[in-house]
Amino acid sequence: MDEYMRAALEEAKAGLAEGGIPVGSVLVHNGQIIGRGRNRRVQCGSAILHGETDAIESADRQPAAIYRQCTIYTTLSPCAMCSEAILLFGTVSSAEMRPNSRFVCLQNSSDPKPLCIWLIFAVVGLVASILRR
């Protein structure tokens, strides 16, 4: 597991420790983590504060060109809302490929070429067992 996936997993652990849903995410630009996030739906009573959106928001306001050069690492496949946010920002979503992962190719509406996204597909039980270690 690379350092960015470990950082996303640490965010998931922090979310679990706060009593939330254990999903973490980090936004990486040129090898530097510029945004960290975790699912805060339970902690903040929010319907939309998922790990990916939290990571994008914590990166502060960046120029569009920066987001297009970023990679987002997440511990669970993004939902439809987060996938659309990733496409809207033009960010390439990436995760370490595992036997239980899948490849998804999405079309960026502002760019005719496909935006390919590597997503980890994990079941909550698997994530929880990793977090208990």
The answer to whether 117 and 105 have CB atoms below 8 angstroms apart is yes
Q: For the chain, what is the mean pLDDT? A: 76
Residue 53 confidence class, pLDDT cut points 50, 70, 90: very high
Per the residue annotation, which of 52, 57, 84, 96 is the catalytic one?
52
The answer to whether 104 and 117 have CB atoms below 8 angstroms apart is yes
Strand segments, DSSP code E, in the chain are 24-29, 32-38, 70-74, 92-93, 102-107, 114-119
What's the mean pLDDT in 82-95?
A: 76
DSSP 65: H
Look at the block and give the residue holding tokens 């979503």.
93
Q: Is 52 a catalytic residue?
A: yes
The CA distance from 37 to 12, in Å, is 8
Give me the pLDDT at residue 80, please: 81
Alpha carbon distances (Å) from 26 to 12, 60, 109, 113: 10, 13, 24, 25
List the one residue out of 2, 54, 47, 48 whose CA is nearest residue 24: 54
- Size (the chain), residues: 133
pTM of full prediction above 0.85: no
